[in-house]
Structure 1
Amino acid sequence: MRFRGILRILGLLICLFSATLIPPGIVALIYEDGGGVAFLLSFIVSITVGFLVWYPNRNERSDLKVRDGFLLTVLFWTVLGSVGILPFWFTAEVPLSITDAAFESFSGLTTTGATILTGIEHLPHSILFYRQQLQWLGGMGIIVLAVAILPMLGIGGMQLYRAEIPGPLKDAKMTPRIADTAKHLWYIYVALTLVCTFAYKLAGMGWFDAISHAFSTIAVGGFSTYDASMGYFDSATINMICVVFLLLSSINFAVHYASITGRSLWSYFRDPEVRGFILIQTVLVVIVFMTVLVHKVFDTTEIAFNQALFQSVSISTTAGFATTDFASWPLFLPILLIFASFIGGCASSTAGGLKVVRVLLLFRQGVRELNRLVHPQGMYSVKLGKRIVPPRVVEAVWGFFAAYALVFVVIMLGLLATGLDDITAFSATAACLNNLGPGLGEVAANYAEISDTAKWLLVVAMLFGRLEVFTILVLLTPTFWRS
């Protein structure tokens, strides 16, 4: 293990992150909300820490190996989430304990969107902007951003990319060089953010709200600048804009790239994962719409459809925006939406969950086993579109599913041990492991009332979900640490 090389890169990345504290500081000066000092102190502390980690190891030039990439990825997200605590802690207008500050920081960075804050609209604008920016940076992954510039620092990035980008087929690259791949990912990401911002603005949001909500929409995060979330605007148009961009952000960014370079929308229709994703979303919306219609939850059919569409897409893509209290709907629907969040979006998107491609492979593997029971001598293969999926990939998907289930059970049992009821423990674990945000029971509105122990368990769940379980679990194996 090249520890000094890892520390050198970690120090550089912390210094890079400290620069992201400048925009919220500028917002504090514009709105004169008193948060400027907090962000200045946070910047000084973070860049000092980064420098102290980097400087003793500045001459270490060894290349990263696969194991180094996994360790650096976990260290970076853990350290970055810890550095992200500082603005919450230093801002006098937001009196948070270290636990609450950590929960808010990791929730933002992992795009979970769970919050312990109330009266959000009364917080300083700088803190509001910082929360949204955290989600935007975490959405695509700050490490992917760093990969785009690391070659200029003499650091190879492929190991980081493999550890960070989700999905079972993540060795496939859009461009021959990993730095070019990361840059193209961010070009698309930034373009979607800009278009979403202007769409929100044209729909009636102010510039601050438009930028803030575009950040969390494209990141599929769910943080808002209001307690009522998207419901504050009470606009069917804004709801539809949010739905469109949540769906776009939940599609594999490599497919976006293929569509742009090929100048054809057929890339979306040819991709089996995108087709599966759209089918799942359509079926879910129909079920929710018909149910709220039958139970007369809303006054008109138009409102029922708009709310059903918005909440179905928001929860199933793991964004967690709200326009109404979906937890008060007929119990069948909240549980259905929570289970839908386990599927999430497509691989290599900003959405959470297991990912559609894995669910498709699990389903097709299940069908193959049923066929083998009927025809034991038959030869069956698992296909994704017209492509035969290698057995190694199928095995990896089953292994991932088993690990995901194990982590879920362990964390849920831990929450039950802290005194939470069954529904709260189940939904909170699902919401944080799937990077969803809102849950049911005691965490339907926010997570302020649960114990500190439960909050730390959920922070761990957020990290497991954001880093797709294996990246963390591999560090717990004796094999990883053997030289």
Structure 2
Amino acid sequence: MHFSVIFRVLGVLLMIFSLTLLPPIGFSIWYDDGHHYAFLTAFLITICTGLAIWLPVHRARHDLQTRDGFLITALFWSVLGLFGSLPFYISEELNASFTDALFESMSGLTTTGATVFTGLDFLPKSILYYRQQLQWLGGIGIIVIAVAILPMLGIGGMQLYRAETPGPVKDNKLTPRITETAKALFFMYLGLTVLCALAYRFAGMTEFDAVGHAFSTVAIGGFSTHDASIGYFNSPLIMGICTFFMFFAGINFALHFVGWRARSLRHYFTDPEFRFYAGWVLVGMVITVLYLYGTGTYGFFDSLMHGSFEFVSVLTTTGFGTADFSSWPTFLPFMLFLFAFMGGCGGSTAGGMKVMRVMLICKQGYREIKRLIHPSAIFPIKVGKKTVHNRVIEAVWSFFAVFIISVMVMFLALLATGLDFITAFSAVGACITNLGPGMGDVAAHYGNINDPAKWILCFAMLLGRLEVFTLLVLFSPMFWRR
């Protein structure tokens, strides 16, 4: 591995990230909330650290290898979470411990949306904006944004893109050059954010709330500027807009790119992953709405609005709320929670295992049933008209196995810290899927759980954001051999 180049890239990326601390300074001055000192201090620490890392190795020139890409990605997300916590930790009004500050930062950057803060309606505007901005940056992936700049430094970006971009289709390029790919993803993401903000503003949100919630909606993050989340606005129109953009952001951004170029919606309905995703959204919404209405939890209109909203919010791992789904009757909270493990499509901002993997697991399971009936027959697995190679199926099953084992290990670790069964299970599930809200003691916020549990959950968030293998590969002795 080329450690000089790795540190050079890490230093550059830290200096780039330091610039994202400047907008909150402007918000603090504009709203006169007195928190500009926290962001200015964090900015100076971050840019000076990045400069100190970059200067000794700024002349290093080597091509990045795959292992370098994995290490940079894991290192940067870890370091970014650390430096992103500085404004929370420095702020005297928040009075946050280091653990809480890191938890909030990691939750924002991984678009998990699990918060340790309460009284959001009374927090300084600059802090509220910064939380939303962290999720927006995490949604597109700071690495994918940065690869558009790295070629100017003489560094190719494909290794970073392959390590960062989620889903089984991560090796596909939208355009011939990775720089153009990163730019295409960024502008699609930016355009969707602008449209979402305008829709929120038209529906009655203030400019501040519209921008903040557009950040977390398109990022599928779930942070809000109010304790009551989307329920604060008590508006069916805002709920409908939010539901649409959560669903839309859960679709593979490659499909959005193709649709924009072709000026057509046809390719959405011919894509097998989208059809699987949309089908389960429809089925889940129908079950949720009818059960809420049938049990008398709400009237029909409220069942339709709350049921549809909460199901899409949980399945896409956004985590917005208009109601406490964990208090809904019988099996419903667990059904919604388990759907978060599937998450959105590969190449989207959603968390979870991704629709493509779940679809391939289902196809493989059905193939095994047919093999029991016809042991000598050959049944290829197809996605659309394309045959899926067995190596891909093996990789998907490996991911599934490691994912579930990781959940089990962290679940037991949380029980060991003293959390009850439901809280521990839902907390690790909500964090590794990047959902955010759980059940039990973490249904509303994570502020009351113990510090060791928060550290375990920080690791779970990072593991989920980097899709397990990108992080776990660093613990393999083979990775470090020459």
TM-score range, shorter chain: over 0.9
1:310 corresponds to 2:305: no
Q: Determine the structure 1 residue equivalent to 2:324.
A: 325
Counterparts of 2:168 and 2:308, CA distance in 1: 29
Counterparts of 2:337 and 2:303, CA distance in 1: 19
Q: Which runs of 5+ in 2 are unaligned?
A: none
| 8 Å Cα contact 1:168/1:396 also seen in 2 | no
Counterparts of 2:392 and 2:326, CA distance in 1: 37
Q: Determine the structure 2 residue equivalent to 1:383.
A: 382
Q: Determine the structure 1 residue equivalent to 2:368.
A: 369
SS in 2 for 1:148: coil
Query: How far 1:406 sits from its partner (Å)?
Result: 1.0
Q: Determine the structure 1 residue equivalent to 2:447.
A: 448
Q: Counterpart of 1:481 in structure 2: which amino acid?
A: W
Q: Counterpart of 1:451 in structure 2: which amino acid?
A: N
| 8 Å Cα contact 2:426/2:439 also seen in 1 | yes
| 8 Å Cα contact 1:269/1:275 also seen in 2 | yes
Q: Determine the structure 2 residue equivalent to 1:138.
A: 138
Query: How far 1:477 sits from its partner (Å)?
Result: 1.0
Q: Determine the structure 1 residue equivalent to 2:115.
A: 115
Matches within 5 A, 1:438-477: 438-477=437-476
| 8 Å Cα contact 2:107/2:115 also seen in 1 | yes
Matches within 5 A, 1:287-366: 287-298=287-298, 300-366=299-365
SS in 2 for 1:169: coil
Q: Report which stretch shifted further, 257-266 or 341-350.
A: 257-266
| 8 Å Cα contact 1:144/1:182 also seen in 2 | yes
Counterparts of 2:172 and 2:191, CA distance in 1: 23
Query: How far 1:169 sits from its partner (Å)?
Result: 2.1
| 8 Å Cα contact 1:427/1:439 also seen in 2 | yes
| 8 Å Cα contact 1:220/1:318 also seen in 2 | yes
Counterparts of 2:44 and 2:371, CA distance in 1: 63
1:219 corresponds to 2:216: no
Q: Determine the structure 1 residue equivalent to 2:47.
A: 47
Query: How far 1:327 sits from its partner (Å)?
Result: 1.1
SS in 2 for 1:320: coil
Q: Determine the structure 2 residue equivalent to 1:58.
A: 58
Q: Determine the structure 2 residue equivalent to 1:265.
A: 265
Counterparts of 1:439 and 1:119, CA distance in 2: 19
- Identity across the alignment (%): 55
Counterparts of 1:414 and 1:457, CA distance in 2: 8
Query: How far 1:301 sits from its partner (Å)?
Result: 1.0
Counterparts of 1:325 and 1:373, CA distance in 2: 44
Q: Determine the structure 2 residue equivalent to 1:414.
A: 413
Counterparts of 1:271 and 1:148, CA distance in 2: 28
Q: Determine the structure 2 residue equivalent to 1:204.
A: 204
Q: Counterpart of 1:268 in structure 2: which amino acid?
A: Y
Query: How far 1:392 sits from its partner (Å)?
Result: 1.0
> What is the TM-score when the length of structure 2 is the normalising length?
0.99
Query: How far 1:43 sits from its partner (Å)?
Result: 0.4
Q: Determine the structure 2 residue equivalent to 1:427.
A: 426
Q: Counterpart of 1:84 in structure 2: which amino acid?
A: G
Counterparts of 2:275 and 2:370, CA distance in 1: 24
After superposition, give the CA deviation of every residue in 1:332-363 in whole Å (9 maximum; x if it has no partner). 11101110000000000000000000000000
SS in 1 for 2:21: helix
Q: Counterpart of 2:386 in structure 1: which amino acid?
A: R
Counterparts of 1:457 and 1:70, CA distance in 2: 21
Counterparts of 1:193 and 1:95, CA distance in 2: 32
Q: Counterpart of 2:18 in structure 1: which amino acid?
A: S
Q: Determine the structure 1 residue equivalent to 2:170.
A: 170
Q: Counterpart of 1:257 in structure 2: which amino acid?
A: F
| 8 Å Cα contact 2:8/2:53 also seen in 1 | yes
| 8 Å Cα contact 1:289/1:304 also seen in 2 | yes
| 8 Å Cα contact 1:69/1:163 also seen in 2 | yes
Q: Counterpart of 2:68 in structure 1: which amino acid?
A: D
Query: How far 1:167 sits from its partner (Å)?
Result: 0.9
Find runs of 4+ consecutive structure 1 residues off by over 6 angstroms.
Answer: none
1:84 corresponds to 2:79: no
After superposition, give the CA deviation of every residue in 1:422-448 in whole Å (9 maximum; x if it has no partner). 111110011000000000001011001
SS in 2 for 1:92: coil
Q: Determine the structure 2 residue equivalent to 1:180.
A: 180
Q: Determine the structure 2 residue equivalent to 1:153.
A: 153
Q: Counterpart of 1:336 in structure 2: which amino acid?
A: M
Counterparts of 1:167 and 1:326, CA distance in 2: 28
Q: Report which stretch shifted further, 23-32 or 323-332.
A: 323-332
| 8 Å Cα contact 1:424/1:439 also seen in 2 | yes
Counterparts of 1:425 and 1:366, CA distance in 2: 30
Query: How far 1:331 sits from its partner (Å)?
Result: 3.1
SS in 2 for 1:318: coil
Q: Counterpart of 1:189 in structure 2: which amino acid?
A: Y
| 8 Å Cα contact 2:250/2:345 also seen in 1 | yes
Counterparts of 1:142 and 1:472, CA distance in 2: 16
SS in 1 for 2:172: coil
| 8 Å Cα contact 2:175/2:181 also seen in 1 | yes
Q: Counterpart of 2:403 in structure 1: which amino acid?
A: Y
Total equivalences in the alignment: 482
After superposition, give the CA deviation of every residue in 1:115-150 in whole Å (9 maximum; x if it has no partner). 010101111000000000000000010000001111
Counterparts of 2:230 and 2:216, CA distance in 1: 11
Query: How far 1:296 sits from its partner (Å)?
Result: 0.9
Q: Determine the structure 2 residue equivalent to 1:478.
A: 477
Q: Determine the structure 2 residue equivalent to 1:19.
A: 19
Q: Counterpart of 1:216 in structure 2: which amino acid?
A: S
> What is the TM-score when the length of structure 1 is the normalising length?
0.99
Counterparts of 2:240 and 2:140, CA distance in 1: 23
SS in 1 for 2:147: helix
